[in-house]
Every structure is written in structure tokens, then in C-alpha cells.
Chains A and B, each alone.
Chain A
Amino acid sequence: MSGLFSKENKEAFINPLNLNNPIAVQVLGICSALAVTAQLEPALVMGLSVTIITAFSSLVISLIRNTIPSRIRIIVQLVVVAALVTIVSMVLKAYLYHVSVQLSVYVGLIITNCILMGRLEAFAMSHSPWPSFLDGVGNGIGYALVLIVVGAIRELFGAGTLLGYKVIPQCVYEAGYKDCGMMVMPSMALILIGCVIWAQRSLNKESK
């Protein structure tokens, strides 16, 4: 064991934040990114829940990776993910009811999020538990970052608020400014994610 935070482990965690971002580079999990980014708050909640689930499903799959028959590995991964998500949602319902009500929409979206399957298949199946856990956390946060950027832009320009608080002052509206209704539409999420990918890739090209 070459230390808990060896170079490889750090890379497993840091790469998905930027160079190997699940949305911008791997282009995974786009559908849920479109669905929940009309406002900042659902984007935050979704980002957090996906991070928790990617981390723990990677850990579980990595622990049992040597016993999984390769012909049914996708089914096994899906069962583990679905069981984890269901348990988390039941625990929330018992202890944090308000959060669970907010999450109800996302539970299904988390199970079907392709980042989960993508990372389990590409990383956790061939790495030991600790790096897999870090990879899960990193990918979850990388996903959350893009969601937060898109959610913040859409809420700010679509409704003039952030997390429900008025940000654009009334005097700006009186001067003739109007909220951009287009921002609220799902198509705008696609365009914004396109812009994020564009910006992220050209920045990375320059830094090389």
C-alpha cells in the first residue's frame, strides 16, 4: 500500500473534476443535467446525491469485483446501484422527510444516470476499493460542478434569482430589463452545456 493519497489516487480524484470531467469530456449523464438545472437548488441536491451514490456504489462493486461473473456484470452493477439508491431514499424518508420529498423526482434519475454505470464499468471493476471510492467522489463532484454552473446561469437569467433569493435588483427591471424566458426551457440547458464544454476544452488546450 503506497499511502492513501499516492499520485494515482490523487489523479483518480482530481482528473474527473476537469481533464476527465464526466459531463464535459466523457459526455455522460447529460439527460439528468438537462432535467434538473432550471434552478440552482435542485442542481445542488442532485449533484450531492449523485456524488454519494457514485462513491458508495464504486466501493461496493470494487469490493466484490473478483466474484462478479463477467457475463452478468452489468446486471449486478445495476442491482447494487438500485439497492443503494432505494436504501438511501428510505433512510431519508424516515429521518429527513423534507429532503426526501425534494429528492423524490431524482431517485429514478440517479439510478439511470449513465455516470454510475460508466464509472463502475470503466474503473471500479478493475481497481481496488479505495481508488474506486475516490474516483466515485471525484466524478460525482465533477458532475455537480457543471450542474451548478448551468443551474446558476439559468436561474439568474431566467428568473433573476439564485437559490430563490432575488439577485437582480428591482431598479434594473424598472429600467426595462426582462427575464429571459428561453433560459427556463430545456433546450437552453443543452446550449449552455455545449458552451461549458467549449470553454472547458479550449482552456485546457491553452494550458497544455
Chain B
Amino acid sequence: MGKLNTNSNGYIIAYASGLVLIVAFLLAGVYQALKPLSDANVEIDKKSQILKSLNIRDIDDNDAIVAKFAEVVEADQIIDIKANVLKEGKEQVNDGFRVDKISENEMPLYICKVNGETKYVIPMKGKGLWGPIWGYVSVNADKKNVYGAYFNHEGETAGLGAIISEYENFQKQFAGKNLCKDGKYLSVVKYGTVKDPDVQCDGISGATKTCDGVSAMIADGLQMYSAFLNK
């Protein structure tokens, strides 16, 4: 290489601009090229999470997840805070399924049939210690008891807060709990201090803030869907 002055202002500006342009086009290109594939993965993942909240957890194969979802979920409705049904969602993956933000005027609800019994799946969103957490809670037809629950997170601490996404160590205990008892919502308390097992779950040592986030998320979610749950 000849004598190129790599420290002149002109070179530095040109180099930086060139580098940024190359990287920008590269990233945008890769993103666009891979978008259909990753979108499909996200959709299947959402289906699998809803199935997990219904205690259907042992399916790993993508096609089997899609088939099982079509079999179990009868409709994805959109309701509002007064429990009026805004959209029926008989197609299963159009109305409520496409809703990512839950708001008072747009609350997704999944109506499912497991072993001949009707279950309702309520999606929830909340805040953990580091970032968003979310979950799906399935409710029995009487709308009083939890049938199953699934939680996940974006960036909780590995090995501590991240345990909320594990079935054996955390999610298992939600099945059978009351949604609400004597005016208190289902909650997660410090590990080993459960006083009322009907409506309290054990937390995770070292992940107090994440568990508080789960409690707050459940309370918020149940509050929002209370018109539907009391109907």
C-alpha cells in the first residue's frame, strides 16, 4: 500500500461515513432477507406459549405446534374493558392473535377447548427488574381458578429472575390457585412465606424484584379483565 495519510481529516470523515454506510446496508439487507423466517418463528413461539399456559408443554415440533393450536384454540376474540366482544376472531390467528399491545379498548382473549372443557387464556404484560415480562394465564370455565400459567421475560438475570420462565421451578405452582380471594389477587410472595396457599405462590430467592413484577402484572391483568371474569 502506498503512503496514505490515514490521519487526515478528510480520510477520517470518508472512512467513517463509508463504514457506517456499509454496515447500515448490510444490517438492513440481512434483516429484510431474514424477516419472513423470523416472523414465522415469532408466531409459532406465541402459539407455543399459549399452549404452554394450557399445560400442553411437550410439543417441540413446529408443525405439531401449529396443528395443536388450531385444534385447541377455538377463537381469539377482542373484548373491551366492559367485556363487550368487539371481534369474534373465529379464524384463530387474525383478530386477537395479532394484538401485541393490550389496551382498554383492545383486549385479546383466547377461547380454548382442552379435553372437552372450555378454558380462557388471558394474556398479560408487565415490568420485571431489567425489562418487559409477559405471560398467559389460563382460567377454568367457572372463571374462578387458574388452570395453568406461562411466564417469560426479555432480559431478567440468568439463573435468578429468568427462572420465571421455567415450569418445574416456578410456573407449576400456579395451577389450581384462586384468581382472587377476599379481595386479594393471586400473588407471588417471598420464598417460604406463603400464608394462604389458595392465592399465594412461592417467589424465587434472589429475584425479589422480578417476582414483585409478576405479582403486579397478574393484579393489573386480572383488574383489566375483571368485567369479563365476573360476567
Contacts and interface: CB of A to CB of B under 8 A. Distances in A.
A178 to B, nearest CB: 12
A71 B158 contact: no
A163 interface: no
Nearest to A82: B23
Given A79-B19, A93-B34, A72 B12 contact: yes
Interface in B1-60: 1, 4, 6-7, 11-12, 15-16, 19-20, 23, 26-27, 30-31, 34, 37-38, 41, 44-45
Contacts of B206: 38, 181, 184-185
- Give the interface SS of chain B, mostly helix, strand, loop or mixed: helix
Contacts of B19: 76, 79
B23 A70 contact: no
A72 B162 CA distance: 38
Contact of B6 (A39, A70, A95): A70
B205 interface: yes
Nearest to B11: A69
Interface stretch (A6-14, A83-91, A133-141): A83-91
A71 B7 contact: yes
19 contacts: A35-B158, A39-B159, A67-B15, A69-B12, A69-B15, A71-B7, A76-B19, A79-B23, A83-B23, A86-B27, A87-B30, A90-B27, A90-B34, A91-B34, A93-B41, A94-B37, A105-B155, A155-B159, A184-B206
Interface of B: 1, 4, 6-7, 11-12, 15-16, 19-20, 23, 26-27, 30-31, 34, 37-38, 41, 44-45, 154-160, 162, 205-206
Contacts of A76: 15-16, 19
A67 B1 CA distance: 10
A143 B173 CA distance: 37
A104 B154 contact: yes
Contacts of A181: 205-206
Interface of A is mostly: helix
Given A87-B26, A97-B41, A38 B154 contact: no
A13 B141 CA distance: 62
B11 A83 contact: no
Contacts, number: 84
Nearest to B12: A69
A135 to B, nearest CB: 23
B205 A87 contact: no
Contacts of B156: 105
A101 B20 CA distance: 28
B40 to A, nearest CB: 9
Contacts of B26: 83, 87
Nearest to A76: B19
Contacts of A37: 159
Nearest 7 interchain pairs by C-beta:
A38-B159, A94-B37, A94-B34, A42-B158, A97-B41, A39-B159, A93-B38
Contacts of B41: 93-94, 97
A90 B31 contact: yes
Given A105-B155, A184-B160, A90 B38 contact: yes
Contact of A68 (B15, B37, B159): B15
Nearest to A158: B159
Contacts of A35: 157-158
Contacts of A42: 158-159, 162
A118 to B, nearest CB: 21
A94 B37 CA distance: 5
Interface in A39-56: 39, 42
Contacts of B37: 94-95
Contacts of B154: 104-105
